[in-house]
Structure 1
Amino acid sequence: MSKRDNKISGGAPQSRAEAEEWMSRLQKVNIRIRDIDTDLREQSADLKVRAAAKVEPFINEKEIISKGLFAWAEANRDALTNGGKTKTIKLETGTVFWRQQPAKVTLRGVDKVLEYLSSNRLRRFIRIKKEVDKDAMLREQTVASKIPGVSIKSAGEMIEAKPFEDTLEASS
């Protein structure tokens, strides 16, 4: 990079001094990218706050309307569903319907539940998940690499340029 040219246009530095210039430029570019990203995040957060404030009254109104419709439908369920023969009420502007929600299991104290199931012959409610322990294979690469279907590849080597970004302020 020459002193008169502020942009890098391919190639590579030809000396340690040029490498220092390139690293300095990389540092400045990284800071600009970080600053733009930070600005975007701040603007996005501000937009979300403003949108939430605008939508809040509508959410409250929706809740009031929905509760009212549900109360009306429940109070008149027998007549509206023809004695329970249907679960759907068609209005001119929409539909009200009842749906059975699927059952769900909630657990508190999973370890105690598992212990109870094990000691009370209820193992059919215990699922055992089998999976390959890749970390163990990495610890024993010689043995693991002989297993059919297993290959262990070298992580390889990489080179990275990391400027000292904390030492430089962004310039406009």
Structure 2
Amino acid sequence: MARAKTKATNLRVPQNDAEAEQMIAQLGASQRDQAETQARHDAVIADLEAEHGKKIKEFQQAQTGLIEGISVWAAANRERLTSGGKTKTVQLASGTILWRDGRYAVKHRGLKEEDVVRAIQERIAGLNAEAAAESRRSVALRLRAQAETLAGCLRHTVKPSKDAMLAARDVAATVPGVVIDREPEGFFVEPLASQIAEVA
């Protein structure tokens, strides 16, 4: 009987239908055992993560309380600590306290992104109209510069859609540099659940 070509020297190859069926059932049993082992592993990890999460929350709450308490003390003593506002950083024996300016943030005040985009576009159109009607060149240039700055606040993202390219493979493949590959034929074995119990 001809044997399948393979790189493995100790590969077990079924010699008849009955052996093939038995090996498929063994494969199913092995997959089931792997799934059960993975489920037990996941349960242990979930328990560890939950315990870890509780501990981290306790640490964070303790740290927040300490920072808030220090902040109240530092605010009450800021004038003395900062030498009348000359510094925003104060070195103490056990560490440093400091004040930093807040970061800027863009907020839409409940507007959807498309509403903000429309508002920016309308403002750009308004600035360009004002610039066109303005008789003073310097003012018109300033208005156009503002319009260009606002145009830079709009993101223009264009990306190729792989789904659309796959749907139109013949046309997409005509684009230089685009190759539509197909993976080679695969071989799969799907054990029937009813047969797995016979091997276990």
TM-score by length of 2: 0.69
State whether residues 27 and 164 of structure 1, in contact with CA within 8 Å, keep that contact through their aligned partners in structure 2: yes
Distance 1:21 1:116, change over 3 A: same
Tell me whether 1:155 sits opposite 2:156 in the alignment.
Answer: no
Q: Deviation per CA, 1:44-81: give whole Å up to 9, x if none.
A: 22223333444554433222111001111222223212
SS in 1 for 2:61: helix
Structure 2: 5+ residue runs without aligned partners?
1-9, 125-149
Question: Equivalents in 2 of 1:73, 1:166: separation in Å?
Answer: 71
Whether contact under 8 Å (1:27, 1:165) holds in the other structure is yes
Correspondence for 1:110: 113
Deviations 1:101-150 (A, max 9, x none): 42122333112222222233254432111212222222222232222221
Matched, 1:32 2:33: yes
C-alpha separation between the residues in 2 aligned to 1:67 and 1:142?
Answer: 64
Mark the CA change 1:33 to 1:82 in structure 2 (over 3 Å): closer, same or farther.
same
1:80 paired residue number: 81
| 1:120 aligns to 2:123 (yes or no) | yes
Q: What SS does the corresponding residue of 1:68 show, helix, strand or coil?
A: helix
TM-superposed deviation, 1:39:
0.8
SS in 1 for 2:25: helix
Distance in 2 of aligned mates of 1:166 and 1:86: 77
Question: Which aligned pairs between 1:132-171 and structure 2 lie closer than 5 A?
Answer: 132-165=160-193, 168=196
- Number of residue equivalences: 163
Identity fraction in percent: 29
Distance in 1 separating the partners of 2:12 and 2:195: 27
Larger displacement relative to structure 2 (85-94 or 26-35): 85-94
Aligned residue in 1 for 2:95: 94
Secondary structure at 1:125 match in 2: coil
Q: 1:74 to 1:147 in 2, by over 3 A?
A: same
CA distance in 2, matches of 1:79, 1:119: 51
Q: 2:158 maps to what in 1? A: 130
Task: Answer 1 or 2: which has greater helix percent.
Answer: 2
Comparing 49-58 and 154-163, the one that deviates more: 49-58
- TM-score if structure 1 supplies the norm length? 0.79
Select the structure of larger CA radius of gyration: 2
Residues 1:13 and 1:106: Cα distance change in structure 2 (over 3 Å): farther
Aligned to 1:37, the other structure's residue is in SS state: helix
Asked if the contact 2:25–2:196 (Cα under 8 Å) also holds between the matched residues in 1, the reply is no
Q: Which residue identity is paired with 2:93?
A: E
For 1:149, give the aligned amino acid. G
